[in-house]
Amino acid sequence: MKYQVIQSALSGNDIILRNNDDGTISSIPTDPTNSDYQAYLAYVANGNVVPDSTLPSNSSTPQAGN
């Protein structure tokens, strides 16, 4: 898997993640002038399927006083 789209349950915004060859993960801004975003769009346009998922909200984060 080269790319993954994550949707934040908190903000609802999409986050594009790229698995790099060195094992690191980078996020790619959805900026049309960004060359990494352009490469992602070309990857999808070539018929590649990008998995997606939803990040959980902070609902499990303990609140003060709990």
Confidence at residue 66, expressed as pLDDT on a 0 to 100 scale = 46
The burial class, CB within 10 Å (0-12 / 13-18 / 19+), for 40 is buried
The pTM for the full model equals 0.68
Contact 7, 15 (CB under 8 A): yes
| Statement: residue 57 has pLDDT above 60 | no
Across the chain, mean pLDDT equals 81
Confidence at residue 60, expressed as pLDDT on a 0 to 100 scale = 46
